[in-house]
């Protein structure tokens, strides 16, 4: 079982968009997939409830708060045979409090928006991962994704320069497009939409998929427990 954590303490960075689309990709590729939602707003859980019955199933794990009548370990229980677990972390997540989940991750993806505030926020988030959660930079488990970006803007160019200056992989740029909104409204991911409508967007996902495929094959999980 491989775990991918989507992490950025700043709200509105696109964690749920990245989580739901990644989970739908793995499900569409016939991986037994679970989506673990730590966000109190429950956006990923709500998206899963909208999924059409003909789509490949994704286990829904609502991890936002303890549920009465069950233990925490049972609440976070992953079905036997699960191959991919995608974790949608909450806004305001503290890297130290979230340390166990982060250290169990095979990959940690950090989405960041093209704005000066978001650049400042992700700088602090990466520092927390390295210094407080004690994620080893040498493990190469962390990658950054520029989200909802338009490459012809000055703010994107500043973001790109910043990301390239990091000693952390900057794997891809996801476009600012309504295709993500339309997919979410239907409980779908881009990989489940008509390819003719999302061709440009799918091409921007390929570097991320390739990076994850290489990571999940080359480096087995540090720990398998959730």
The pLDDT tens digits for 101-123 are 999 999 999 999 988 899 888 88
| φ/ψ (deg, to 5) at 160 | -60, -45
Q: What is the pTM of this model?
A: 0.88
Contact 106, 216 (CB under 8 A): yes
Q: Where in the chain are the domains? A: 2-218
The pLDDT tens digits for 12-42 are 999 999 999 999 999 999 999 999 999 989 9
For 49-84, b/e burial (b = at least 16 CB within 10 A) is eebeeeeeebbbbbbbeeeeeeeeeeebebeeebeb
Instruction: Give me the residue label for tokens 């997919």.
Output: 183
Residues 167, 91, 175, 200, CA torsion sign = positive
Contact 128, 32 (CB under 8 A): no
pLDDT value of position 155? 84
CATH topology classification for 2-218: Rossmann fold (3.40.50)
Dig out the tokens for 71 from the structure. 């233990």
């Amino acid at each position: 079982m491989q775990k991918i954590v989507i992490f950025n303490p700043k709200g509105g960075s696109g964690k749920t968009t990245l989580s739901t689309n990644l989970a739908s990709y793995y499900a569409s590729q016939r991986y037994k997939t679970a989506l673990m939602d730590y966000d109190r707003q429950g956006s990923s859980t709500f998206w899963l409830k909208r999924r059409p019955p003909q789509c490949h199933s994704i286990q829904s794990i609502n991890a936002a708060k303890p549920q009465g009548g069950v233990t925490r370990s049972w609440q976070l229980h992953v079905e036997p045979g699960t191959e991919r677990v995608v974790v949608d972390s909450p806004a305001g997540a503290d890297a130290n409090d979230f340390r166990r989940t982060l250290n169990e991750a095979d990959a940690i993806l950090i989405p960041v928006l093209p704005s000066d505030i978001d650049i400042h926020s992700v700088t602090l988030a990466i520092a927390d991962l390295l210094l407080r959660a004690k994620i080893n930079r040498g493990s190469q488990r962390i990658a950054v994704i520029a989200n909802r970006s338009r490459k012809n803007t000055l703010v994107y160019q500043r973001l790109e320069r910043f990301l390239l200056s990091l000693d952390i992989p900057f794997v891809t740029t996801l476009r600012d497009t309504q295709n993500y909104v339309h997919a979410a409204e239907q409980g779908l991911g881009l990989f489940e939409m008509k390819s003719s409508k999302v061709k440009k967007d799918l091409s921007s996902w390929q570097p991320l998929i390739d990076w994850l495929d290489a990571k999940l094959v080359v480096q087995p999980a540090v720990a398998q427990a959730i």
